[in-house]
Structure 1
Amino acid sequence: MLGLVLGLMLGVGVGRMIWTTSTGPTDAAKAGAQVAAAAPQAPQAPATPPPPAQRPILSPTVFKVPLEESPTKGPADALVTMVEFTDFQCPFCARANATIKQVQEEYGDKLRLVVKQHPLPFHPRARPAALASLAAHNQGKFFEYHDKLFANQKALDDASLETFAKEVGLDVKRWKKDLADPKLAAIVDRDEALAKSLGAGGTPAFFVNGRFFSGAQPIEVFRAAIEEELGKAQMMVNEGMKASEIYASVLSHGVTAPPPPPEPPVQKVDVGSAPVKGSSDAPVTLVAFSDFECPFCSRAANTVKLLEDEYKGKLRVAFKHQPLPRHANAKLAAAASMAAHEQGKFWEMHDKLFANQTALDRASLERYAQELNLDVGKFKAALDSNKYDEQIAKDSEQGTQVGASGTPTFFVNGRQIVGAKPIEVFRRVIDEELKKSGVASAK
């Protein structure tokens, strides 16, 4: 009968998910940056957006989330264990913390909370705060210190962190010594790596008996997740399993990482009249759909430069324009790059524009033209004529047709790579394409 219950947990879990409207974005999504993966910028929403689509919030997949020695509140024999990955500088984590406190009161000893650290790279004080909280944990006061941090998110400097240590009654001398202990840094690194391996790129992220949902969701989502897992756990107890064994039993049937998403179909992306760098007979062509005002495009452009050096003679790079509507100077910058292209200096202007993304007004563009020794009069006339509007519009339309709905988006021999991905992602695809053509990779 126990096997039937476990099968029910997995089978029913796949078929039954919590559905709700999309609310409470993660901090990473809000900031426009993925961490670990650097998500592309999406096009501007229409003036009158459609109603939010219904989507599943609680993943049907059970993930193996080890508890280790992470700070815990609630008994070891709680029927439901909720693991949270948090960032003390994330406003959505602070909002979720208030919700968590409420569900802890409602469910009492039936719920165990385990907190893991996931300081996001664009929050400079999140990691010091994480280390400070773990130093407080060494003295048995993690949650008191945890609450202080969330109540004072705008004051996470070193002096404030020490003040909080005093206020919660820590031995400050010991706290300072522990703060410098590399063991705490290793714990933060371990938690971050675990979050990424589980597909939890943003904060807050939650695993309820191993099932994932993210964001500062309404309390109804938390309740629904807990109730669903509570019901299954109670069935297991009724069949004779000890409550203290529930979490390990559930996770024994889980997975360690989400399955990789299927690769998009190969697209035919014509280079056309786009600016090109590299040999025309190179076995691999990389087409970039980009926006000069997009910070992720700038980051990705640096990656492409490294790839050009590594795969010299084997890689051709083409640039297509996709200025996003919300970037006020992106279209003008695109035109400026084409005006420079007309004088044989597209790539020099390309580099100038990405190096000066906060200064893409008309006067700045003319200054860059002068610095590149262009015929400035001819450059100005080209911008005034709007002669490049049609080509920019065609590039953007082509991007939309092949699935490049945000920037940056790349096509490597027609294989799509979305966002400012790590260079290893590009290398893998390029090496695979070189292998197909019978050409040795750069390595």
Structure 2
Amino acid sequence: MINAKITCAVIFSLLFLCIGCIENNDPVSETNAVDEDSTMYASSADEYDIAIANNAFAFDMYSNIVKEENLVFSPYSIFTAMAICYGGAGGTTQEQIASVFNYPLSKPVLEEASKNMMATINSDTDNYDLSTANALWVRKEYPLNSEFSTNSKEYYGGNVTNLDFRSEPEESRVIINNWVASKTNDKIKDLIPEELITEDTAIIITNAVYFKGAWMNKFDTANTAKRAFYNSSSNENPVDMMYTQEFFSYGESENAKILEMPYKGDDLCMYIVLPEENNIEEFEDTFTISDYNELKSSMESQYIVHTYLPKFKIDVKTELPDTLRNMGVVDAFDGNLANFSGMYNVQLVPEDYNLWLDDVIHQAFIDVQEEGTEAAASTAIEATDGAIPTVLEFKADHPFMFFIEDKRTGCILFMGKVENPEY
């Protein structure tokens, strides 16, 4: 058999940096299941709610990632990059990816919904910077399927650039990394690691997401002070704790509190989910998307909230092939079973030619400070062959989860947890 492999190198680099004056006995999997009639069997983009699909995938991914310490990733970035790859999938490979990512079996439905989501994200505003972009990098003289190429450009803005992967692997790596850097304001400079590109590399699909915005209610740096933070072992660590007293949308349940921290323009926000107990493991193992939505529905905005939030930086690198296999993407990693025939011109390759997924790498960095947030995510898929208000307190002095969400669509762009604030 003549085989080329898709090494799915999914490398996320998330940057949260405050900028001046801008801004299967798994309970999670069971509860996060979405209605197949409105996802897998959706017949139109209006019927398919891509934000619900993305968010359900986000919680499924979170429940499957090894997360002993701090964690951050972009469900939207991996969801979108894989959607382009999905455009070339067929048979059981397509069905398994659809099941895990909550894609519709109708590719045109996903393409149209993705195009609409990208249009919302890329809409212009003076309040913040938010953008997403895609690109396809194809080995020189590779027989790329023309329909796959056209659809990638039409629905994802993924222009095709031919590179000489075989003769100039390092030069090709530099070109791709420069593209990523340009789309992420130079926050992600080395997405493609050395030696990832080999003579068998056929296609590299890249996605980038960038966000830069100020808090609507900035923290006064004068109020930042060393305060105690208690990790899951209840060990006390002094951290730089920010403080503000504002009207915030706030809600709570028996075992958690939630706070909405909007960014300037109020199109995007960060939700902080703070468990009652210091040890976050039991909470996160049972915290579902239904719980998240129910917690959000409890929120009210008539309260002054004394808010304490630590400054934190997180840098995480994770390999995800086993995670995706455990989630159900099995055939795509098998050289004998994978079907990505929609990516190439079947008339120009040998009869036994094949592509499959080989590697997934996830890298993330987050930096939160007093004045705002800057966030960048990048994904690479390598195809190788009134009344006096009640005053409340929200003191994030122990592990918590966070979500950055596009309030216009409800799409979770970034999510993670803080186990040990580092700054």
TM-score bin, normalised by smaller chain: under 0.3
Structure with the bigger percentage of strand = 2
Larger radius of gyration: 1
Q: What's the TM-score once normalised by structure 2's chain length?
A: 0.22
Structure with the bigger percentage of helix = 1
